[in-house]
Amino acid sequence: MNNKILYTITIFSENTVGLLNQVTIIFTRRGVNIETLSVSPSAIEGIHKFTITAFSDRETIVKIVKQIDKRIDIVKAYFNTDEDLVYQEIAMYKISTQKLLSLGSIEDIVRRYNARILDMTEVWVVLEKTGHYQETQALFNELKNKTGVLQFIRSGRIAITKSKVEERLGDMLAEMEGKLGVKN
């Protein structure tokens, strides 16, 4: 069975220097390419959240997550498919003001794609679009074909699970702190 699908790997960890390198090496050794990566503080004080997407088969992703979860600086690692998540990306597009105005109504594109104008000068316009990959890519494709795109950037996926994993993780950490007598 070699069905590769997109998995979202979520890792909760301490904010430790070099941890990102250690995590990416695990993917490299298994021959799995990271598609997107986003890291930020989580809702749990002192804990950071990594959100990584990668195409893989289930067996390989299970092995990767188990190996990540064994690291001492990792609080918890798990994986999900899209059905288990609420997720988004953000994209920014810099385009020529003159070319955009030549299309007629800027408002039409902004409304149709539910985009926002972040900045506008006589030379260029910066648009922002939040959504799933297909939505941000559709706007990119239209702008590229009709006006050209001067610059483009898309964030990695950010995701929240539909289950209560993070809440249970917070309860588990609070319980551990209580047992150890540690105070925030």
Q: What is the pLDDT of residues 41-65, one digit of tens each?
A: 988 888 899 999 999 999 999 999 9
Q: For the residues 67-71, what does the mean pLDDT come to?
A: 92
In single-letter form, the type of residue at position 89 comes to E
CATH architecture of 86-154: 2-Layer Sandwich (3.30)
- Report whether pLDDT(182) > 70: no
Q: For the residues 6-17, what does the mean pLDDT come to?
A: 92
pLDDT recorded at residue 42: 87
- Report whether pLDDT(183) > 70: no
Cα–Cα distance for residue pair 181/131, rounded to 1 Å:
43
Q: What is the pLDDT of residues 75-118, one digit of tens each?
A: 989 999 999 899 999 999 999 999 988 887 788 888 999 999 99
- Report whether pLDDT(181) > 60: no
Q: What is the pLDDT of residues 149-177, one digit of tens each?
A: 999 999 989 998 887 665 666 666 666 55
pLDDT recorded at residue 98: 92
Beta strands in 57-180 (DSSP E): 74-80, 85-96, 116-120, 124-131, 151-154, 158-161
pLDDT recorded at residue 67: 95
Residue 66: how many CA atoms within 13 Å on its side-chain side? 7
Per-domain boundaries in the chain: 5-80, 86-154
pLDDT recorded at residue 3: 81
> 3-state DSSP: the chain helix, strand, coil percent, rounded to 5?
40, 35, 25
Identify the weakest region by mean pLDDT among 11-15, 32-36, 136-140, 172-176: 172-176
- pTM for the full model? 0.81
pLDDT recorded at residue 16: 87
Task: Reply yes or no on domain 5-80 having CATH 3.90.230.10.
Answer: no
pLDDT recorded at residue 163: 78
